[in-house]
Structure 1
Amino acid sequence: MFPGMGGKGINPRQLERQMKAMGIDMYEIENVRQVIIRTADKEIVFNDAHVTVIDARGQKMYQLIGTPEERALEKEIPDSDVELVAQQANVPKDLARQALKETKGDLAEAILKLSGGK
């Protein structure tokens, strides 16, 4: 029984029948290993996820239950930026890439850092 429904509980089977009558189907995705939500600057990872799909006449909604773990994403450094910094600072590309990572992609700061200006 579900509490809080008009003072009386609703039988889960009745609820399921009512949902079916409205064209709503619910089911769990089995054997989910991991769910990752990736944004521009972070990942939210669920290693213990339980995922339920609610299909309402072709519109699917996913309900996710689990413990989130947030991870910051490393900013991708374009190869063209690496080449530019390497040329300007007269250093190998691996040093240029490392400097760009340390300066969070700031080209001028990376060049200054590698040229001894900082």
Structure 2
Amino acid sequence: MLPFGFNMKALEKMLKKAGLKVYELEGVERVIIEGVDEKIILVEPKVLELELPGQAKAYQILNPKEVVKEKGVEEGQEVQEVSEDDVKVVVEQTGCSPEKAKQALIETKGDIAEAIVKLQEEGC
């Protein structure tokens, strides 16, 4: 549901009425926004490409199924590598998304049991 009482069709109609060409990008699995201190992963969002003739394109990201935030790596901090097998174990035990499982493993420095407990406590 969109804010201000708009539904998706009403939003697209309003944008088209404003002279924008609106295209839905099909098959988008993730949108990743990377900042200096944080990464935001939007899982399975609806993405609209907006084009005003003669102008730059803009993208509207709507209704992601899940939002995952990851803290950035501080200067001098070691990057924690997480194996796909460990991620699969955590996903199987918690039912969480692979992104959340990976983030929990990073936060627990690869400790599978601690990551599982952490996610279960968060209600994932």
Taking structure 1 as the reference length, the TM-score comes to 0.45
Report the structure number with the largest CA radius of gyration: 1
Taking structure 2 as the reference length, the TM-score comes to 0.43
Q: Which has the higher strand share?
A: 1
